[in-house]
Amino acid sequence: MAKMTIRGGDLDLVEYEFSAFPPGENINTLGYEKDYLLEISENPVTVRVPARIHLTVLDMNRFAPNRPGGGGFGFALQLYSTATVECIPSGIEINYTRVPMILHLVAVLQKVTGYTGGFCITVVDHERKHVGLGSTGSVLTAVAHAMNAALGSPLTTEQLRLLVGYNYVEETATGEVVPGFETGVGPAAVTYGGMAVLGDELTLVCRHTFAKNKNVFIIIPPVEADAAGESEFNVLMNRARNLDYRDRELKAYMVLMDLIPALIHDDLRRAGDVIWEIEFRGSKRAEVEHNSFIIYQYMSQLREAGFEFVAMSSVGPTIAVITESSRAEVEAVLKPLGIEIALETQVDNEGIKIL
């Protein structure tokens, strides 16, 4: 695998070598393994999980492929993936395109719970990959909960959230896996619903209902930037990291003193003001600029039109608009820009569900 250079500043330069390994190796059990009393379900278990909008990382310097963390916040979206799991005598059958990452998660759950049987796993995702909606994290969370429920729910929701985060991987072209980037925002948001605010080491600081009954419009502008793989690494681990040295204290202050109070008081416009300021700060600025300054132009037009909450998700290019305004009012602003609404939905404030 390639060596990637991480630069946080003039005196901060390290090389990180992506060492691929077969699914099932390098498992982090977090000390949860013990002799659980398993109650194997005779019937398949189906779990539904929402998508997510990841609004920002708080500090990229506390975050690396082999270290989950960095803090951040984001919210769950009424756009769903499902995982159906059936316990079988032996073997692993996976009906999904991304087999290696599922195999790795299966190995994690088997090692922690002591289950020696097999699984038949079927996944249906929301089919919008690498545009900032968190398909990977949502799928892994759904599969983890479905496997756990099929075994009689020996693990708690919090244990599952942390196991997913500390064993997060991405696939390689050869069928192996490598450690992936994980702040924990996605699994927390899709597990509990609403807005989730996290500190370092996947610590859930705040979860609160967000933008209930408000309209959410998802816009996916056409851009040429790559939002995955080596390109994503270069954005997150170089310029973004350098910018967070400068702005991380300000971002953390704004979250504690403005964003969380806005959530508590159900003040969508105040929350929107906070995230708009953060769009120009630290690592979020690097993520937006990675997609070219046209993203700022689009978002600025939407803000100037008066819509309460406008933000880009993750490394983009997805833009989320949350407002009391109608679809027609949003489309009137988008039409002169040559872009359109990809999805109209709402915030999911309930989180993961066993169907």
Q: What is the CATH number of the domain that holds 239?
A: 3.30.70.890
Q: Domain check: are 10 and 62 in the same one? A: yes
> Does 67 share its domain with 186?
yes
For the entire predicted model, the pTM comes to 0.91
DSSP summary character for residue 236: I
Amino acid at 257: M
Give the C-alpha distances (Å, rounded to integers) separating 188 from 137, 194, 340: 10, 9, 30
Same-domain pairing of 205 and 234: no
Pairing of strands 92-95, 118-124: parallel
Instruction: List CB contacts of 158: < 8 A, sequence separation 6 or more.
Output: none
**Claim to verify: residue 267 and residue 194 sit in the same structural domain:** no
What pLDDT score was predicted for residue 327? 97
Other beta carbons within 10 Å of 292: 15
Whether 133 and 259 share a structural domain:
no
Number of H helices, E strands in the chain: 11, 15
> Which domain does 177 fall in, by range?
3-209+350-354
Over its length of 355 residues, how does the chain's per-residue pLDDT go in tens digits? 455 555 545 445 555 666 889 999 999 999 999 999 999 999 999 999 999 999 999 998 888 777 899 999 999 999 999 999 999 999 999 999 999 999 999 999 999 999 999 999 999 987 766 556 767 889 999 999 999 999 999 999 999 999 999 999 988 888 999 888 899 999 999 999 999 999 999 999 999 999 999 999 999 998 866 555 555 566 666 778 889 989 999 999 999 999 999 999 999 999 999 999 999 999 999 999 888 889 999 999 999 999 999 999 988 889 999 999 999 999 999 999 999 999 999 999 999 999 8
SS3 content of the chain, % helix, strand, coil (to 5): 35, 25, 35
Contact 309, 219 (CB under 8 A): no
For 16, 121, 133, 135, 344, the CA distances from 181, given in Å and listed in that order, are 13, 24, 15, 14, 28
How wide is the angle at C-alpha 62 spanned by C-alphas 253 and 164, nearest 5°? 110
| Sign of the dihedral defined by the CA atoms of residues 234, 240, 243, 249, in that order | negative
Please indicate, yes or no, whether residues 200 and 237 belong to a single structural domain of this protein: no
User: How high is the pLDDT of residue 222?
Assistant: 87
The pair of three-digit structure tokens given for residue 11, joined into one six-digit string: 């005196």
Angstrom distance (rounded) from CA 168 to CA 64: 12
Which residues are paired to 217 by β-bridges? Answer: 321, 344
Q: Do 220 and 297 have their domain in common?
A: yes
